[in-house]
A and B are shown apart, each in its own frame.
Chain A
Amino acid sequence: MRWLSKGWFAIVVCGFAFLKPVAQNCPARPDSGTVVADPFSISSQNGVLSAKFSLGHSVDSAGYTHFCYNYQAGTETVEAPTLRLNPGDTLNLAIVDRIKNNESMKMNMEAPAGPTCGDGGAATVNSTNVHFHGMNVPPVCHQDDVINTLIQPGTPGFQYAVHIPATQPPGLYWYHPHVHGFTEFQVNGGAAGALIVEGMEKVRPEVAGLTERVFVIRQQYLVPWIPGPYLLTVNYQIAPFLGAARPIINMKPGERQFWRVANATLQDFLQLQVQVNGTLQPLEMIALDGYPLAQTRNQTTILVPPAGRAEFIVQAPASGGSAVFFSNMYDTGPTGNLDLSQSLATIQTTSNAASSPMPTATRPSAEGVKFFDFAQQPATTERQLYFSEEFGGTNGPIQFYITVDGQKQKVFEPNEAPVITTKVGAIEDWTIENRALETHAFHIHQIHFRVLEVDGKPVPNHDLRDTIEIPYWGGSGPYHSVKVRMDFSDPTTAGTFLFHCHILLHEDLGMMHKIQVMP
């Protein structure tokens, strides 16, 4: 979506309410040009991780609105800690909404009909809930339901009790708010954090013993929906386009580190690279979207769509080399926003670099990990879906659709009936086309899918993903498409959940629908 359209739409709908200062209650974020620290992490103990997050809200001195998951670590308040759990663990997460009520924000969304979970009521920019992105957990209240769960400001809060399956793939996931119509606001403000399911070294022993780094790349616009200049941040430290000091990642000379990178941006397609003296370095890919690859493979550029994750091994240059962690330009199409090239961080070699080694593998094995062998099972159903967009004027009305072919195109409504109904045990092949002039990022909740084809051609690596890019249509010729295999065989998938574009503006404006998996 283009600059002017977004700007006008935001102003028309929301005014300049975002710019109104409110009480400061988010922690200060790191200074530019400093060493990037990993997020504070909290780990499960004896199969349980209990934590309490308080969702805050403030505006910084530059006018950027912050939304923050505050966690009290002793006397210190830290923002969006990394949650570390083992397969089979339980996450007990209390969420308290402490957003100061902003009366200038009048917009709200219709509350879904039927059962409510949490506080209920109308969804507003002050409401929240949590989506555990990529986790193969049930779409039910207190676990990973975002359709009916609403947490309102000023209430006692809400308790999540998420049971991590014993077969959950080890890898990097993330959590973020998912209130329809307002997801972009809170994620834009920084309300997002990493969730790691331990055990990668048991599936990919290459990482055993390496220093692990966790980088959450976020994105902030001064006013959501008005593109203009935006900021990418690495663990909340601003990565400027030009000029100001970049974040610094310390590594020992020649050291191999295991990087776990989450794309928690609103809409950026990151083409991750490491450049040493201007030369692209091979990145040893270990996992995508929290799922270990069948085999590691080397690439010099890793495309990570919005909400995607990439885990890979990076080797530091020898002492004195000049290295940068870089995101290369990505063209999202005529009606999309150009994702510009920029450095994310300077890689600084120092013998004093901290280390936090991964455990040593004991019995490496990929067996027993969910979805390990479902590619061999035949599909029981095939479906065709497509993304499309409709612009009635430069300032709107704008409609973003994801549609099951044969059904009428419509935007998501909280009270809508599921557009797809299937049942536990189904194995489905979905072909998803992009009929828009803008690249979209397909995401489905609760499960990973296996990528079978791109543009009608089988792919050599049948990776398991939860988010995948589908390039824009060029105006002639066939649409770009992906064919993916969905596995609904696990009874825990029973319920109603969502699939959508993970460009958050698109999601908020209705490029999303429900799927119901019958028991």
Chain B
Amino acid sequence: MKRLATSWLLRSVALLAGVLAVSGLAMAGTRYVVTSDDSAFPFPAGVSFYTVATNGGLVFQQQVQTGGFGIGGGYFGMNRLAVLNRSDQPCVYSSEAATGDIVGIAINTLTVGGSARGSDTDGGTSNGIGLAINSNYLYASFSDSNTIGTFQVQSGCGLAFLHDTPVVGLHRGVINGMVIHGTMLIASYTDGTIESFDISGGTPLSNGDKQGSTATRTSQDATYANSIDITRDGHYAIFGDTSTALSVEVSDISSGQLAKTKIYQSRASISSSNILLSPDQTMLYVINTQGATVSALFFNKSTGKLTAGCTSGALRGQSVNYSYLAGAALINLTGNGGGVYVAEFGPASGIATLTLSVSDQKCSLKETSGSPVFDSNSPGLLSIGTYPTRSF
């Protein structure tokens, strides 16, 4: 009898798991690649969830519609996705630029848990709403109102709006990229300004270090910081620049403020609006927004120095399927990341997969044979992430 009961129980669990898998409902521990489908009216916005097959290919599971509409475009360095990596409530938050709200999705159930709007004047219909998150607060950069909205994370993947912080670049620039490390939030603006904020009290308070990035001020190339990443120890902030060449800047933030940035530039490709550090911080992935390529630079986490690495060939489908490359997510959450998934923005948006090989301080990046996977629910894919996330 006991054996029968155990067998029945096991079969029931297996059956339930199978049903959940078939129905797209998730189980805790499932690894996802997620995309923000910021679709413009009349197409519903949502978040698409992919799993990774044993051969490395992405397998679409389901789209969770978020109930509103996006704008299908906007700034490249502005991340429309924020993944809450909390074990008690893993969530994916996604902004809907046209509707003007932020929606939380419970990863365990792949259902919408809640949503929130900012103030009456907050808006992102021109170029989107960017997100950055820590375990307690979510920050939203509104490109119309030029504000940072502070939201408190609620149980069940909900949000509660707290208040707005008006911001502006030195030359009236609009807020663009944002990233959080500990109690520091760093933002970039469209006029080349960068600024850090203290978020120890929840609300962003400027650290008084607003400045034009070095590339913006001095470079021959017309350049401004767009996306941002920060090293695990919080020593360096790295900026991916929008530029007519590949341009990356590094700032020492160990003092608690942004120091003058140092520039790394190369004519290997065009623009570098999106960047991403590898988990072991030995590589910096650089998405060449207009160049249709992805580069990997060697990064020294002790000195903050970047050295030349490698650049992929042109990703398949440029011009025909996609116009620009945008956000990226890591293939592996350990080591050098093993490569990246890259958002391809265009009439047939897709997710490209590139694998990284490193040997003797040389590297190569290659697009996999099954790449790209078309993201049919996203007519204008810009933001991509993973659950779970990188550990810093």
Q: Which residues of A contact B224 (CB under 8 A)?
A: 392
Complex alpha-carbon distance, A333 and B289, angstroms: 15
How far does the Cβ of A290 sit from chain B's closest Cβ, in whole Å? Answer: 33
What sequence of 0s and 1s flags, for each residue 296-318 of chain B, a beta carbon within 8 Å of any chain A beta carbon? 00000000000000000110001
User: By the criterion CB–CB under 8 Å, are B314 and A390 in contact?
Assistant: no
User: By the criterion CB–CB under 8 Å, are A394 and B73 in contact?
Assistant: yes
Q: Which residues of B contact A333 (CB under 8 A)?
A: 319
Does any Cβ of B come within 8 Å of A516's Cβ? no
Does any Cβ of B come within 8 Å of A492's Cβ? no
How far does the Cβ of A434 sit from chain B's closest Cβ, in whole Å? Answer: 11
User: By the criterion CB–CB under 8 Å, are B323 and A334 in contact?
Assistant: yes
What sequence of 0s and 1s flags, for each residue 258-273 of chain B, a beta carbon within 8 Å of any chain A beta carbon? 0000000001011101
How far does the Cβ of A402 sit from chain B's closest Cβ, in whole Å? Answer: 11
User: By the criterion CB–CB under 8 Å, are B73 and A390 in contact?
Assistant: no
User: By the criterion CB–CB under 8 Å, are A394 and B271 in contact?
Assistant: no
Q: Which residues of B contact A476 (CB under 8 A)?
A: 293, 313-314
State whether A391 and B222 are in contact (beta carbons under 8 Å apart), knowing that A4-B72, A334-B318, A475-B269 are contacts in the complex: no
Q: Which residues of B contact A396 (CB under 8 A)?
A: 127
Q: Which residues of A contact B137 (CB under 8 A)?
A: none
User: By the criterion CB–CB under 8 Å, are A408 and B323 in contact?
Assistant: no
B side interface size, CB within 8 A? 43
Complex alpha-carbon distance, A322 and B227, angstroms: 57
Does any Cβ of B come within 8 Å of A388's Cβ? yes
**Chain A 398-454 residues near chain B, CB threshold 8 A:** 399, 401, 403, 406-410, 435-437
Q: Which residues of B contact A335 (CB under 8 A)?
A: 290, 323
State whether A401 and B74 are in contact (beta carbons under 8 Å apart), knowing that A335-B290, A437-B290 are contacts in the complex: no
How far does the Cβ of B344 sit from chain A's closest Cβ, in whole Å? Answer: 12
Main DSSP-derived SS at the B contact region: loop
How far does the Cβ of A136 sit from chain B's closest Cβ, in whole Å? Answer: 33
Residue in B127, B222, B290 whose beta carbon sits within 8 Å of that of A401 in the complex: B222
Complex alpha-carbon distance, A410 and B318, angstroms: 27
Does any Cβ of A come within 8 Å of B231's Cβ? no
Does any Cβ of B come within 8 Å of A393's Cβ? yes
Does any Cβ of A come within 8 Å of B75's Cβ? yes
Most buried by A among B318, B323, B380: B323
Q: Which residues of A contact B236 (CB under 8 A)?
A: none
Residue in B73, B222, B324 whose beta carbon sits within 8 Å of that of A8 in the complex: B73
What sequence of 0s and 1s flags, for each residue 7-50 of chain B, a beta carbon within 8 Å of any chain A beta carbon? 00000000000000000000000000000000000000000000
State whether A392 and B76 are in contact (beta carbons under 8 Å apart), knowing that A2-B323, A397-B190, A409-B221 are contacts in the complex: yes
**Chain A 312-349 residues near chain B, CB threshold 8 A:** 333-335
Does any Cβ of B come within 8 Å of A44's Cβ? no
In the complex, the chain A residue whose C-beta lies closest to that of B72 is A4
Complex alpha-carbon distance, A393 and B75, angstroms: 4
Does any Cβ of A come within 8 Å of B242's Cβ? yes
Does any Cβ of A come within 8 Å of B254's Cβ? no
In the complex, the chain B residue whose C-beta lies closest to that of A437 is B290
Q: Which residues of A contact B190 (CB under 8 A)?
A: 392, 397
Complex alpha-carbon distance, A233 and B337, angstroms: 54
Complex alpha-carbon distance, A183 and B75, angstroms: 28
Does any Cβ of A come within 8 Å of B142's Cβ? no
How far does the Cβ of A390 sit from chain B's closest Cβ, in whole Å? Answer: 5
How far does the Cβ of A438 sit from chain B's closest Cβ, in whole Å? Answer: 9
User: By the criterion CB–CB under 8 Å, are B222 and A408 in contact?
Assistant: yes
Does any Cβ of A come within 8 Å of B100's Cβ? no
Complex alpha-carbon distance, A392 and B382, angstroms: 12
What sequence of 0s and 1s flags, for each residue 239-270 of chain B, a beta carbon within 8 Å of any chain A beta carbon? 00011110000000000000000000001011
How far does the Cβ of B239 sit from chain A's closest Cβ, in whole Å? Answer: 13
User: By the criterion CB–CB under 8 Å, are B75 and A392 in contact?
Assistant: yes
User: By the criterion CB–CB under 8 Å, are A390 and B243 in contact?
Assistant: yes
Residue in A2, A406, A408, A474 whose beta carbon sits within 8 Å of that of B219 in the complex: A408
Does any Cβ of A come within 8 Å of B220's Cβ? yes
Complex alpha-carbon distance, A437 and B289, angstroms: 11
Complex alpha-carbon distance, A2 and B324, angstroms: 10
In the complex, the chain A residue whose C-beta lies closest to that of B267 is A435
Does any Cβ of A come within 8 Å of B329's Cβ? no
What sequence of 0s and 1s flags, for each residue 139-169 of chain B, a beta carbon within 8 Å of any chain A beta carbon? 0000000000000000000000000000000
Q: Which residues of A contact B293 (CB under 8 A)?
A: 475-476
CB < 8 Å A-B pair total: 104
In the complex, the chain B residue whose C-beta lies closest to that of A332 is B319
Complex alpha-carbon distance, A406 and B221, angstroms: 9
Q: Which residues of B contact A401 (CB under 8 A)?
A: 222, 244
Complex alpha-carbon distance, A390 and B291, angstroms: 11
User: By the criterion CB–CB under 8 Å, are B126 and A12 in contact?
Assistant: yes
User: By the criterion CB–CB under 8 Å, are B244 and A390 in contact?
Assistant: yes
Complex alpha-carbon distance, A202 and B351, angstroms: 62
How far does the Cβ of B125 sit from chain A's closest Cβ, in whole Å? Answer: 10
Residue in A393, A408, A473 whose beta carbon sits within 8 Å of that of B73 in the complex: A393
Q: Which residues of B contact A296 (CB under 8 A)?
A: none
**Chain A 240-260 residues near chain B, CB threshold 8 A:** none
Does any Cβ of A come within 8 Å of B352's Cβ? no
Does any Cβ of B come within 8 Å of A198's Cβ? no
Q: Which residues of B contact A389 (CB under 8 A)?
A: 244, 270, 290
In the complex, the chain B residue whose C-beta lies closest to that of A438 is B290
Q: Which residues of A contact B285 (CB under 8 A)?
A: none
Q: Which residues of B contact A489 (CB under 8 A)?
A: none
**Chain A 1-47 residues near chain B, CB threshold 8 A:** 2, 4-5, 8, 12
Complex alpha-carbon distance, A407 and B218, angstroms: 11
Does any Cβ of B come within 8 Å of A395's Cβ? yes
What sequence of 0s and 1s flags, for each residue 74-96 of chain B, a beta carbon within 8 Å of any chain A beta carbon? 11111000000000000000000
Does any Cβ of A come within 8 Å of B66's Cβ? no
**Chain A 452-495 residues near chain B, CB threshold 8 A:** 473-476
Residue in B74, B128, B273, B291 whose beta carbon sits within 8 Å of that of A475 in the complex: B291
Complex alpha-carbon distance, A334 and B324, angstroms: 9
In the complex, the chain A residue whose C-beta lies closest to that of B74 is A393
User: By the criterion CB–CB under 8 Å, are A409 and B222 in contact?
Assistant: yes
**Chain A 107-140 residues near chain B, CB threshold 8 A:** none
State whether A391 and B221 are in contact (beta carbons under 8 Å apart), knowing that A4-B380, A475-B314, A476-B314 are contacts in the complex: no
Q: Which residues of B contact A8 (CB under 8 A)?
A: 73, 126
In the complex, the chain B residue whose C-beta lies closest to that of A410 is B222
How far does the Cβ of A227 sit from chain B's closest Cβ, in whole Å? Answer: 12
What sequence of 0s and 1s flags, for each residue 367-392 of chain B, a beta carbon within 8 Å of any chain A beta carbon? 00000000000001010000000000
User: By the criterion CB–CB under 8 Å, are A392 and B292 in contact?
Assistant: no
User: By the criterion CB–CB under 8 Å, are B220 and A334 in contact?
Assistant: no
Q: Which residues of A contact B313 (CB under 8 A)?
A: 476
User: By the criterion CB–CB under 8 Å, are A391 and B324 in contact?
Assistant: yes
**Chain B 274-299 residues near chain A, CB threshold 8 A:** 289-293
State whether A407 and B323 are in contact (beta carbons under 8 Å apart), knowing that A391-B289, A395-B74 are contacts in the complex: no
In the complex, the chain B residue whose C-beta lies closest to that of A409 is B222
Does any Cβ of A come within 8 Å of B197's Cβ? no
Complex alpha-carbon distance, A408 and B290, angstroms: 20
Complex alpha-carbon distance, A498 and B79, angstroms: 40
How far does the Cβ of A470 sit from chain B's closest Cβ, in whole Å? Answer: 15
Complex alpha-carbon distance, A4 and B271, angstroms: 19
What sequence of 0s and 1s flags, for each residue 220-240 of chain B, a beta carbon within 8 Å of any chain A beta carbon? 111110100000000000000
How far does the Cβ of A405 sit from chain B's closest Cβ, in whole Å? Answer: 8
Q: Which residues of A contact B271 (CB under 8 A)?
A: 390-391
23 sampled A-B residue pairs with Cβ under 8 A: A2-B323, A4-B72, A12-B126, A333-B319, A334-B318, A334-B319, A335-B290, A335-B323, A388-B270, A389-B270, A390-B271, A391-B289, A392-B224, A393-B127, A395-B74, A395-B126, A409-B244, A410-B222, A435-B270, A436-B270, A437-B292, A475-B269, A475-B291
B residues contacting A by CB (< 8 A) are 71-78, 126-128, 176, 190, 219-224, 226, 242-245, 267, 269-271, 273, 289-293, 313-314, 318-319, 323-324, 345, 380, 382
Q: When A and B form their complex, which 5 residue pairs have the shortest distance between CB atoms, in order from nearest?
A: A394-B73, A388-B244, A393-B75, A409-B222, A334-B319
